[in-house]
Chain A
Amino acid sequence: MTDQDRFQSVEEALDALKTVPEPDPGRRSEARSSMLARVDVWRERRGLTSPVPIGSVGLQKSRIAYWFEGFCDTLITLRQRRAVMLTTILS
């Protein structure tokens, strides 16, 4: 081995060890999903809405939406009942 082939410093030698393979992208994405799935499990255990981050009004919105839907249904049913009663009386 000639002097040119040899490392000139310890730092240069260590640089040669820096080269290691990159993680497999498929495996990385699998590990990421698996970690996030565990986050979801803990969020559920803690009673937090699964995929919605804290601070979001996602749950409140959906509750309001459910309530409004129910309210409209009731209103329509009442109007329908009145319509049926009126029709009966008039006939």
Chain B
Amino acid sequence: MTESDLPDRAFRLERDAFAQIFDRHYDAIFRYIYRRVGHRETAEDLAQEVFHRLVETNGRGGRPIRNVKAWLYRVARNLVIDEARRQTVRQHEPLEDTHPQSGASVSQQADQEMMTATLLEAMGKLTRKQKEVIELKFLQSLTTREVADVLRISERGVLKLQQRGVAALRTQLVLSNVLAREIA
């Protein structure tokens, strides 16, 4: 069984194909959603919904989903956007339980948490598209082609957003004093 025949096998509603897709992508999709919603249960619910939609879309027929990975990220992204619209009252603790290093002292842990908060704040100052490109490319390790498929823009567009996003992030991080100034 190869990766290339997965879309056709999923389209024929073969259980094994779905199981394989799930095993390959669930964790990454969960992490992607978690980073954006900052809440474990919501991330788990939405990740499950992504795979339910994969089944529904294949079940309803039409055409096989050719790029399953990009499709999953696209659906995850849309679900996160919908969730953000719905969520007006609920308060989430950002990155609630990022593995605290077992040997780290309380003050080291506090420093790390502060650093993470500063990074997230700096990311928050980017444009939505720049943020998405940086998340998909650097945090989810997607290729430029895959990011382009998820966001439905050209590869050139991805590279431009990436360049501007990284530059903007660098400025923000230097201003926040967490990034060493580059020596020219």
Q: Are A and B physically bound partners?
A: yes
Could you tell me which A residues sit within 8 Å of B by CB distance? 1, 3, 5-11, 13-14, 16-24, 27-28, 30-32, 34-36, 38-43, 45-46, 48, 51, 53-54
Q: How far is the CA of A84 from the CA of B163 in the complex (A)?
A: 94
Report how far A18 CA is from B44 CA in the complex, Å.
18
Q: Given A7-B179, A8-B180, A10-B179, is A20 in contact with B26 using a C-beta cutoff of 8 Å?
A: no
A42 to B16, CA, bound (A): 14
Q: Which residues of A contact B44 (CB under 8 A)?
A: 23-24, 27, 31
A20-B31 in contact (CB<8A):
yes
Q: B: which residues have CB within 8 A of A? A: 12-16, 18-19, 22-23, 26-27, 30-31, 34-35, 40, 43-44, 47-48, 51-52, 54-56, 58-59, 95-99, 111-112, 115-116, 119-120, 123, 134, 138-139, 166, 169-170, 173, 177-180
Give the Cβ gap from B58 to chain A, nearest Cβ, in Å. Answer: 8
> In the complex, what residues of A have CB within 8 A of residue B123's CB?
17
B98 touching A20, Cβ below 8 Å: yes
B59, closest chain A residue (CB): A42
Using CB atoms, name the residue of chain B closest to A32: B22
Q: Are B27 and A23 in contact (CB under 8 A)?
A: yes
The answer for the CA separation of A27 and B72 in the assembled complex, in Å, is 19
Q: Which residues of B contact A53 (CB under 8 A)?
A: 14-16
Instruction: List residues of chain B with CB within 8 A of the CB of A3.
Output: 180
Enumerate chain A residues within 8 angstroms of B16, measured Cβ to Cβ.
Answer: 53
Report if A39-B55 is in contact (Cβ < 8 Å); known contacts: A8-B180, A13-B179.
yes
A91 and B26 alpha carbons, distance in the complex (Å): 77
Given contacts A17-B120, A32-B22, A48-B13, contact A22 B27 (CB under 8 A): yes
Residue contact B35 to A17, C-beta cutoff 8 Å = yes
Residue of A nearest to B174 (CB): A6
Q: Smallest CB–CB gap between A33 and chain B, Å?
A: 10
- Our pick among A6, A17, A21, A28 for the contact of B180 (Cβ within 8 Å) is A6
Query: What are 11 A-B contacts defined by CB distance under 8 Å?
Result: A8-B180, A9-B179, A13-B178, A14-B134, A19-B98, A20-B34, A21-B99, A23-B31, A30-B48, A35-B54, A39-B13
